Chain A
Amino acid sequence: QKEVEQNSGPLSVPEGAIASLNCTYSDRGSQSFFWYRQYSGKSPELIMSIYSNGDKEDGRFTAQLNKASQYVSLLIRDSQPSDSATYLCAVKGGGTASKLTFGTGTRLQVTL
């Protein structure tokens, strides 16, 4: 079982719709959770971080964390063509080492 799992997609949503991206993780001691966006041929850039159960909103982005279900999600409201990218879920596990484990990413396509 992979430590961080994401559906590879592509996830296709029409412009203006809500895109929902999901991620599950296996380490119950995980402490910190991140969503990175990666455009084709570019490096990952951080868009959201979340540390406690519940929702965290930042503009059109909402991260949701449920530690009991070992599940983290990213909602993108009013999706735009510029949101088309691969979204990487990253998890910092339990322990003191500051290492992130990344999922393989979900490719999002926002269609006109």
Chain B
Amino acid sequence: NAGVTQTPKFQVLKTGQSMTLQCAQDMNHNSMYWYRQDPGMGLRLIYYSASEGTTDKGEVPNGYNVSRLNKREFSLRLESAAPSQTSVYFCASKGTGTDTQYFGPGTRLTVL
């Protein structure tokens, strides 16, 4: 049981490049989330998916898009990366009937 997995673990991009961060969970959870974590800012919600087929904006959605590919997978896409998107990105998932979220190991992204 791997829980929540994320790929890649590290990534360096140049300004303007695009990339997709992948997240998968094997806990049969309905809800999935993407956060970014910056020093002094805490975890901020980018997008979330309450169930397969639905996605909603969080606190900081600008510059990002998401796809809930199926119940297991939730991807985050940066279409044109900017230095302000340098951050650590965490994916999380949550089962039905609980508010507890479980986090993946994170992706450390640097945009030059």
Residues of B within 8 A of A98 (CB): 31, 48, 50, 94, 99
Q: Which residue of A lies closest to B50 (CB)?
A: A98
Q: Assuming A46-B102, A92-B99, A99-B58, is B48 touching A104 (CB within 8 A)?
A: no
In whole angstroms, what is the CA distance A8 to B39 when docked?
11
Give chain A interface residues in 85-100, CB to chain B under 8 Å: 88, 90, 92, 97-100
Q: Which residue of A lies closest to B102 (CB)?
A: A46
Q: Are B42 and A88 in contact (CB under 8 A)?
A: yes
In whole angstroms, what is the CA distance A56 to B40 when docked?
29
Chain B contact residue count (CB 8 A cutoff): 23
> Is B74 close to A, CB under 8 A?
no
Residues of B within 8 A of A92 (CB): 99
Give chain B interface residues in 39-62, CB to chain A under 8 Å: 40-45, 48, 50, 56, 58
Chain A contact residue count (CB 8 A cutoff): 22
What's the least CB distance linking A40 to chain B, in Å? Answer: 11
Partner of B103, one of A8, A32, A44, A97: A44
29 contacts between A and B (CB under 8 A): A4-B42, A8-B40, A31-B99, A32-B99, A34-B100, A42-B105, A42-B106, A43-B90, A43-B105, A43-B106, A44-B43, A44-B90, A44-B103, A45-B103, A46-B100, A46-B101, A88-B43, A92-B99, A97-B50, A97-B56, A98-B48, A98-B99, A99-B48, A99-B58, A100-B101, A102-B35, A102-B43, A104-B41, A105-B42
**A-B residue pairs, 9 tightest by C-beta:** A104-B42, A102-B43, A43-B103, A32-B99, A102-B42, A92-B99, A44-B103, A43-B106, A43-B105
Residues of B within 8 A of A (CB): 31, 33, 35, 40-45, 48, 50, 56, 58, 90, 94, 99-106
